[in-house]
Amino acid sequence: MPHLLKDHIGVISPLSDEEFDYILSHFVFKKLKKHSFLVQEGNSVKYEYFVLKGCLKAYMSDSNTGKEFIYQFGVEDWWITDREAFFKQSAATINIDCLEDSEVLGITLENREKLVSEMRKYEHFVAVKANLGYISLQKRLQLMIMGSVKERYENFIQQYPHLINRIPKSFIASYLGVSRETLSRLYRS
């Protein structure tokens, strides 16, 4: 039977059904309603999450203005958490909430480390995913520093065409570090 997580891992490290069942036994399933929090600032972060269904946003809030700064979206086949809080086992400094009804698989740091130490295939998968994540972050930072608003928007459309009609434009603007009005001007040009 196909499983999104098995397919996701299998792109890097193909797994037998038995290997995948063992990996899956270390995850917990969570179902969340639209507008509910997966991670909330100030709370502990016990899990790293793999998105099976839905759309989430990770953001920081300015306590003075209440303005949100979105730095990540999470949709099917993506991972999401407050990485610093998860790995340091500290309080979250961000919020992650559901833009849609969502389903996720969560793995604790303890279970993640257990799988990495027991299974070479999972260790390889985690290492490759971490490197790809660093590359993606580097490219995003370069674009935020050196790219024009138009270049950032065009890159977003090219990289995430499936998100354009799924995520409100105000959230895309926040992710790109611009106002909704600035983004609207780009649509008209």
pLDDT confidence tier of residue 2, bands split at 50, 70 and 90: low
- Residues 55, 146: Cα–Cα separation, whole Å: 29
H/E stretch holding 114 reads helix 109-118
Task: Give pLDDT tens digits for 113-144.
Answer: 999 999 999 999 999 999 999 999 999 999 99
Each residue's pLDDT tens digit, 76-110:
999 999 999 999 999 999 999 999 999 999 999 99
